[in-house]
């Protein structure tokens, strides 16, 4: 699968996941929200990123959220599914389920529970193994505010050599790092600004 398999141009809001008073996912409210957002010129949606609170959902809830959004979203809008987990095996399994649920690409946060052990080499091995097994393109996700793990530009560039890794969502707010990432990865690798401060 080539780098152009999914084009990440335009606005991809990281949508919130609605919950009811008991703490269950409010799937009908989710459908209503997506139908409302479909009226705008959005390129697609990031589903179960940080804003979607995916860390609080079971695997079955995640799959149902992706399926619910996919059914409510026109085929011409890209669905990027937040599917990163702490272990490589778990991430691979969830990525496959995201693809089956209709995701066009997956957004993979850095493993971070053992942040001090997340060396560039360990992160490269993790992402390459997932990308090898993923049926859909992979977007790296660096969100150091929450994870305390920041993918530097050189590490991103090494991971970007994999043909199934098409981009990165960078929420670090570090413009110099983003510029280095663009310079080191080349024109086919897509760099997304994931922080509102960029706009």
CA distance 140 to 187: 16
CA distance 167 to 3: 8
CA distance 16 to 101: 18
Residue 45 bridge partners (DSSP) = 79
CA distance 130 to 41: 32
Choosing from 3, 62, 77, 169, which is the catalytic residue?
169
CA distance 145 to 172: 7
Q: Is 169 a catalytic residue?
A: yes
Q: Which residues of 116-136 are buried (b: 16+ CB within 10 A; e: fewer)?
A: eebeeeebbebbbebbebbeb
Q: Which positions are catalytic?
A: 169
């Amino acid at each position: 699968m080539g780098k152009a398999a999914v084009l990440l141009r335009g606005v991809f809001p990281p949508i919130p996941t609605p919950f009811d008073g008991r703490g269950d996912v409010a799937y009908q409210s989710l459908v209503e929200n997506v139908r409302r957002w479909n009226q705008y010129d959005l390129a697609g949606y990031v589903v179960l990123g940080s804003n979607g609170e995916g860390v609080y959902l079971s695997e079955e809830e995640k799959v149902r959220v992706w399926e619910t959004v996919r059914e409510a979203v026109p085929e011409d809008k890209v669905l990027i599914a937040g599917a990163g987990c702490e272990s490589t095996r778990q991430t691979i399994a969830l990525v496959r389920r995201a693809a089956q649920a209709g995701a066009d690409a997956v957004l993979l946060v850095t493993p971070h529970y053992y942040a001090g052990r997340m060396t560039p080499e360990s992160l490269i091995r993790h992402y390459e193994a997932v990308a090898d097994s993923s049926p859909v393109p992979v977007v790296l996700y660096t969100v150091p505010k929450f994870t305390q793990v920041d993918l530097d530009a050189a590490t991103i560039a090494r991971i970007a050599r994999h043909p199934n890794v098409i981009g990165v969502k960078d929420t670090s707010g570090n413009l110099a790092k983003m510029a280095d990432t663009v310079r080191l990865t080349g024109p086919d690798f897509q760099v997304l600004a994931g922080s509102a401060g960029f706009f």
